[in-house]
Chain A
Amino acid sequence: MNYRLEPQPYEWISRDNAIRFTFEGREFQAFEGDSISSGLLANGQSILGRSFKYHRPRGALTLANHDVNALFQTDEKPNVRGDVVALEPGMTLTACNVNGTVIKDKDAKIEYAARFLPVGFYYKTFHKPKKLFPFWEKIIRSKAGLGQVNTQWDAQRQSKSYAFCDLLVIGAGLSGMQSALAAADAQLNVVLVDENPFIGGSLDYQLAHEPRVKALRESLKASVSTHPNIRLYTSTLAVGWYTDHYLPLLTPHGIIKLRSRAVVHATGVMEQPAVFRNNDLPGVMMASGIQRLISRYAVKPGQNALVLTSNDEGYRAALDMCEAGIAVVAVVDMESIAQRGEWAERVLAKGIRVLEKHGIYEAIGRQSVQRVIVAPLSGESCDLAKKDVIDCDLIAMSVGWVPAAQLIYQAGGKLSYDETLQQFVPESLPKGIFVCGRLNGAFTVDQRISDAKAVAQEAVAFLKGQHEPRDLSQYRDTTAHSHPWPIIEHPKGKNFIDFDEDLQLKDLKNAILEGFDNIELLKRFSTVGMGPSQGKHSNMNAIRVLARAQGLSINATGSTTARPFFHPVPISALAGRRFRPERRSPLHAWHEAHQAKFMEAGVWLRPEYYGASSARLDCIQEEVEAVRSRLGIIDVSTLGKIEVMGPDAARLLDLAYTMKMSTLKQGMTRYALMVDDSGVIIDDGIVGRVASDQFYVTATTSHADATYKVLSKYVQFCRLNVRLVNRTGSLAAINLAGPESRKVLAPLTSISLSESDFPYLGMREGLLCGYPVRLIRVGFVGELGYEIHLPHDAALEVWQRLMAAGQTVGIKPFGVEAQRILRLEKGHIIIGQDTDGLTHPYEVGMSWAVPLNSKAWFTGKPSLARLKSSCQRQLVGFKLAQGAPKDLVKECHLVIDNNEMVGRVTSVAYSPTQQCVIGLVMLDQPYADTSNPIHIRVDDGRLIRGERCRLPFYDPEGIRQTSAVEEVLL
């Protein structure tokens, strides 16, 4: 049977585009624009899912994402919300949490054990004995679970973007459209968002057949869609509010991070269920849910309807159902019909039976509603002596509303309970947060228009800095649209408050009796409002139950806190585009063309070594060997390079570095060690003096920006007359190292390289291959070497000329790994590898770099003065026996003594010059003070013995880097 109605005036479906999909293996047909739920309902599939705990059959309730009765699983996605997710051609769906099919769920028998499964049952029963919990957890999860995550998922990222506006209006219903328009007319730059694919909100489903709003609807829709000051985003959710009006807008393309100057919430209200026995049977729906189904999807939810109401909206829904050809068998009004308006008159005029001051005692039916027991209300219960049984297959509940105020709570707004409206309404709002419409208690069309115009005016004034908060209650309705107690007791229960979590009235009452009598405690113990719909249909009734049990007002009972996100946000949207900066040296392309294997060094990519990865160790060894015996060349462009100039330049460096820089002679360099206030080493480099008032400072690759920042902080806060220029990216740097370096370099440069003109640690300026360069005699790798600092655009040419000139002596480019071995042979530490966040100079044998007596002050001096005599650790060199495997000991392996950890390996490598494995260990001071051998626990658990060595391992006198190379070779 087809449940599709004749075309409706504002329907979302496109009847020209039929789509086919399968549910539980059966093929169905629907239209483009259908949601999953409407597509199934159009085919007469009234059971859409099974409940979380008892596996009760569930059908459509709100059609608005205020419940999760209809949760589906596709091949890729779990927990697809059928009410709001559009059908796609070829979709293959099953229901979540079903063992079998939704019609025949083998786990439905769990319901018969319901009375043995009270709230708190799992907490109380399964936590002892602890070791059995994993067993029970597995069973509970499979029986009471949500969807299955596809672990073969595809990594997807949706890009994010930023947006800015004066005013964000959330909700494009009557109030939202009107306020957006008024604000845009006042020249504000407005963003209007709505979660639905079409604008119009409740105008299009609650007032679809109301002739008086036809012209208004058309004019508002047309105006907001074309206004030059409005950006309209449909199918877009404002999923959270963050400080300074920063709101993530979840669009189908990903997240827009919107920065607004103010926000108008026109998010409306969410309909609440009545609580009676079997109120969760398929066929029991919110009146607004029925109206959505009819107006948006043209689907007929039943043949014979009964309306339970306590407001005008119920009568309006009855008329809409008549219009759609549904027989309305009765309207059951919980209050007196005398207080109803024209809608009730029109219902009576149609000859529909109206029962006033009645309630529903119970709905009856196996898989869906078949009949209803109604009875006069007597106090809070039903007078069963006068009960009536009415046959129907559809129950429309229209007993009350709650404001969609989640984002207002997030922003720090306060709501209070209005006894006239029997609804929460905003009471006080933070700066820049505004509200209007039904959310604010304005219910009639006239009230909503006035409220929307007033809020726009208020927002405009606020943005001009002339804000006077308005009287929020000015356009509020004067009659209640919610019933204060839409709840009917039943001795057999199954009167549900929370449909997500299968919570019945008695579950909450028992929890309160057990002492969980505060709204936050009640929530956590009973889990009310903690399901996927996050209390959208359950919190209000839970508050009413708690308030009554405690004899408190609703205000005194309070509400739970709403947190982001308002709606689940896919991880792909949260992930966004990947911003992982990657920095390349000007020689990158050359390295790439010469088989460099790259590694990350901070944000930089650096050659680790050159050659085939299958021969990694051999390549590295050859590179080391080339530097030691002939000539190597390495790209060190990643070094931080800072120019320090001005009358106070020397003073700045004296403050920032441990060693005295003011005594440095022009044209000379000095090792520079930087510690923080606590004496911990944070960076090292060299300082070279260019002129009396100009220095050139280098910093380690990963600390360059931080070092610049530290220096600039002194300049600013210690009133120093110094200028800094960070030249890291504008200059390249190349280290030419090895006994042949002078011979190869000399013909290419204007600078005299003789030992007397250019000694070790000297710095010279001049030309190299015609480019202006600075040369520095450095000794990091322990050979005669020149660090060449040159313009970024000269790097490639100079590098190639050096390679060509070095051809005859067998020059070899070397990478970071070879450099690490070379410096390890020299016993030079690498900050951050051989040091950690607590290491001070005395622990790494650098007391020579801490002039406590000769300097009045440098950062960290008082700490180091104290630490000098209380070292807790010591960096010590070690080597393994010749012939020991080259890669057995690794960095971070532990040093063990009598089964206790006494240290760890910070650096280790096979040294070609020493012909054995060498390394550094950071030892606890007591063990360092002994002369015991070092036992290192390696991956397989064995202890490997190493012998202590004095540092450096190679050329302890430093002859090779300091003297004329000819002398060394003799």
Chain B
Amino acid sequence: MKSVQLTPITDWQAWILTGPDSSVAFTGMEAPAEVMTAVFSDGHLIAKTGRDEFLAFVKESAVQPQSTWCFRRHDRILQIQGSAWEEAMLCLCQFDFHRMQPNEWQMLAVAGINCWLWKDPNPDQGILIGFDPGYAEYLEHIFHDVIHELELRSVNLGGAL
């Protein structure tokens, strides 16, 4: 039986930081060095999205990052997990999730919406997908449709399926 679960993640404060002092904004947190990579530690997820630009998702209880140009974001974040999460994503996104490495950070179009994706190092945890909150109803509706269809679909032959 195929299964996919969709869980909203709401216990983070999201930030975008930019400018020369952005990299020193994270007190006591590990920040990534390479562009388009992410570090997950102590429950915080920090991604480097430009030369001196970061997206940071910080636990509510922690000290929030501070820099000259540091703005709150309100990304809608969903966790997609279960045996068929890759299959569900492949209905919406032209990306080879099979090759996605643990901790890999990606920014791509999902169902026509610009999203960021992060693959949890624990394979049971699937991936996180974050996007503009204005698209929450649209994307969640589509995800529910896709999951419903996958659960109905018969399994193909072949050792790899």
Contacts and interface: CB of A to CB of B under 8 A. Distances in A.
Our verdict on whether A and B bind, yes or no, reads yes
A604 B158 contact: no
Contacts of A490: none
Contacts of B91: 159-162, 577
Contacts of B146: 159, 577
Nearest to B146: A159
A174 interface: no
Given A583-B135, A604-B134, A259 B94 contact: yes
Nearest to B141: A582
A79 interface: no
Interface in B20-67: 52-53
Interface stretch (A231-239, A555-563, A826-834): A231-239
A723 B53 CA distance: 9
B153 A645 contact: no
Contacts of B9: none
Contacts of B113: 581
Contacts of A109: none
Contact of B159 (A230, A579, A645): A230
B145 A730 contact: no
A791 interface: yes
Contacts of A189: 98, 160
A15 interface: no
B149 A159 contact: yes
B69 A583 contact: no
Interface stretch (A100-108, A112-120, A219-227): A219-227
Contacts of A581: 111-113, 135, 138
Contacts of A577: 91, 142, 145-146
Given A579-B111, A583-B134, A791 B158 contact: no
Contact of A586 (B71, B98, B133, B149): B133
Contact of A645 (B18, B90, B111): B18
A164 interface: yes
Contacts of A370: none
A577 B73 CA distance: 30
5 contacts: A577-B145, A579-B92, A581-B111, A581-B135, A725-B16
Contact of A227 (B96, B112, B136, B158): B158
Contacts of A159: 91, 146, 149
Contacts of A232: 156-158, 161
A350 interface: no
B17 to A, nearest CB: 9
Given A162-B94, A579-B111, A730-B72, A585 B87 contact: no
A723 B18 contact: yes
Given A579-B111, A583-B132, A230 B160 contact: yes
A224 B158 contact: yes
Nearest to B152: A253
Interface residues of B, number: 42
Given A161-B91, A162-B93, A584-B138, 17 more contacts: A189-B160, A190-B160, A226-B158, A226-B159, A227-B160, A229-B160, A230-B158, A230-B159, A232-B156, A232-B161, A582-B135, A584-B137, A723-B52, A727-B71, A729-B134, A730-B73, A730-B74
A768 interface: no
B123 interface: no
A793 B74 contact: yes
B129 to A, nearest CB: 15
B19 interface: yes
Nearest to B113: A581
The 7 closest A-B pairs by CB, nearest first: A232-B158, A729-B132, A164-B96, A792-B74, A583-B134, A723-B18, A226-B159
Contacts, number: 117
Contacts of A727: 71
Nearest to A793: B74
Interface string B63-90: 0000011011110000000000001001
A487 interface: no
Q: Which of A577, A584, A730 has the most CB of B within 10 A?
A: A730
A340 interface: no
A351 interface: no
A580 B99 CA distance: 28
Interface string A746-772: 000000000000000000000000000
A225 B157 contact: yes
Contacts of A365: none
Interface string A138-177: 0000000000000000000001111110000000000000
Contact of A723 (B69, B90, B94, B160): B69
Contacts of A228: 159-160
A791 B160 contact: no
B18 A725 contact: yes
Contact of A229 (B96, B112, B159): B159
A583 B134 CA distance: 5
A730 B55 CA distance: 13
A645 B156 contact: no
A667 interface: no
Interface in B110-151: 111-113, 132-138, 142, 145-146, 149
Contacts of B134: 583-586, 604, 729
A783 interface: no
Given A224-B158, A585-B134, A643 B112 contact: no
A192 interface: yes
Contact of B19 (A225, A234, A646): A646
Contacts of B159: 225-230
A163 B69 contact: no
Given A192-B158, A730-B72, A582 B137 contact: yes
Contacts of B153: 253
A793 to B, nearest CB: 6
Interface in A200-230: 224-230
B69 A645 contact: yes
Contacts of A582: 135, 137-138
Nearest to B52: A723
Q: Which of B52, B87, B159 has the most CB of A within 10 A?
A: B159
B3 to A, nearest CB: 17
A890 interface: no
Q: Which of A160, A231, A259, A604 has the most CB of B within 10 A?
A: A231
A160 B149 CA distance: 11
Contacts of A643: 69, 71
A249 B53 CA distance: 41
A162 B142 contact: no
A725 B158 contact: no
A586 B132 CA distance: 11
A257 interface: yes
Interface in A563-584: 577, 579-584
Nearest to A705: B114
A909 to B, nearest CB: 28
A29 B99 CA distance: 50
A730 B71 contact: yes
Interface in A774-821: 791-793
A308 B156 CA distance: 41
B19 A583 contact: no
A649 B157 CA distance: 59
B157 A583 contact: no
A588 B136 CA distance: 12
B41 to A, nearest CB: 25
Nearest to B139: A581
A219 to B, nearest CB: 14
Q: Which of A227, A584, A588, A793 has the most CB of B within 10 A?
A: A584
